[in-house]
Structure 1
């Protein structure tokens, strides 16, 4: 059966799996925000050692991906190439778009957009690694903004 919407149970499992991955990889404490396709939070979890800003940063990474329709890596490239445009986007969103790796779109096996996950706490690359493991753990497809290998 193909998942067509992201539900609370799956979002919570994804967030828990991403935090578990952070422990296995030995990265710094993380916060994970899982949003549905409309940008509404379904699960926001913070490792008890992660700072209070991490959930907001994680949410900004996920919201940026959903709002622009690209994974965090593509958003980062575009933000670097068009800083004035992304300054305008951040002005429109009260600074809620964070265009870096660690924001990942979530798709089903047919490519339908289900939502996004954002992770913050370590380097953007390590945040993304944990996001990828969380998405994989629930049987969904990650879209980082890079071409699939």
Structure 2
């Protein structure tokens, strides 16, 4: 199952609203569960370079069914996933990408946000994702 076009539009709207509340300009990407772009917005005056980062944060969250910042914790030097950001045509392993999970616990897509601090990027991504689902996958067997 994939996030619908209508849901993707609501996610963008919710994320833009949160961005405005925080006083920041963001790029916001919504991907379906296959990692394909469903919707994208770049707010006026948001950094052009943040477009690619938002998409890659969403892709990271989607491909690994966890927030991009969690992959970052696993990819530090000496950690089991060190260097993973070089896979899949480039991943982003810092906060701002979150999975979208439906009520049954199925991954239906992901949201990626870039344009300010990683803390604000994450806050805006969560505001978008929770418009149509939750951000946490059921516990994966290999995750501790």
SS of residue matched to 1:126 = helix
- Deviating above 3 A after TM superposition, structure 1's stretches of 4 or more consecutive aligned residues are 81-86, 89-92
Match of 2:141 in 1: none
Separation (CA, whole Å) in 2 of partners of 1:135 and 1:92: 25
Alignment of 1:39-54 (within 5 A): 39-54=35-50
Structure 2 residues not aligned, in runs of 5+? 138-144
* Root-mean-square deviation over aligned CA pairs: 2.1
Number of the residue aligned with 2:86: 91
CA distance in structure 1 between the aligned counterparts of 2:102 and 2:124, rounded to whole angstroms: 18
Alignment size in residue pairs: 138
TM-score (norm 1): 0.83
Alpha-carbon shift at residue 9 of structure 1 (Å): 1.2
Conserved 8 A contact 1:132-1:142: yes
Pair 1:72-2:65 in alignment: no
Q: Distance in 2 between matches of 1:132 and 1:68?
A: 17
Residue in structure 1 matched with residue 134 of structure 2 by the alignment: 141
The TM-score normalised by the length of structure 2 is: 0.85
SS in structure 2 at match of 1:13: helix
The residue number in structure 2 matching 1:147 is none
Distance 1:70 1:81 in 2: 20
Partner of 2:14: 17
Q: Does 1:114 align with 2:108?
A: yes
